[in-house]
Amino acid sequence: MAYYVRAMTRNDITAVNELDREVFPDIRNSTNFQSELENFLARYIVIFETDSAENKNRDADKLIGYAGLWLMVSEAHVVNIAVSNNRRRNGAGELLLIALIELALQMNCNMITLEVRVSNITAQKLYEKCGFIPMGIRKGYYNDNNEDGIIMTIENINSNVFGENFKKLKENYRKKRGPIKIDLAALAS
């Protein structure tokens, strides 16, 4: 199986809402994706599983995840990354994160930041692999259980050092998972 990533559209909202309830069943305040798509600060992407990265028959594709970020001045803030429970640990989350970083670069952001649950060691390892560094704690950040959130940041995504590391990250992903198909053209304006 291959993955491809593109901008979320209104046609995706029903499937994304279903996925959101699956991945975050305990969250009381779910995201209003219709409003987010209309928010000029927000950018949302979706990931599909397909027979091949070049598949033209999109009807057979299955939406398995989504991610979003907010753009604030020269900073990109990752607001969520979600992958279907039965598709985790297969590279979809990593590809979503790669696509969000690509988008932040295209939008001329200088840094990218996020929060992650202190209990979510798997996500923390992925973020560190992509260059994020723990910067602090937000006490009681998650409203479903009052869990603390670790603030993780890449401070200069435009640096040569980060650029080289990001290039290696994408190449390693390609070697392990296959071609990367990301279409962000609709979001880069």
Tell me which residues are annotated as active site: 115, 127
Q: For residue 189, which amino acid is it?
A: S
Distances 188 to 125, 147, 175, 185 between C-alpha atoms, Å: 28, 34, 27, 6
CA proximity to 33, closest of 24, 43, 25, 23: 43
In terms of Cβ atoms closer than 10 Å to its own Cβ (0-12, 13-18, 19+), residue 91 is buried
CA dist 74 and 107 (Å) reads 8
Kindly report the backbone phi and psi dihedral angles of residue 165, in degrees, each rounded to the nearest multiple of 5, phi listed first.
-65, -40
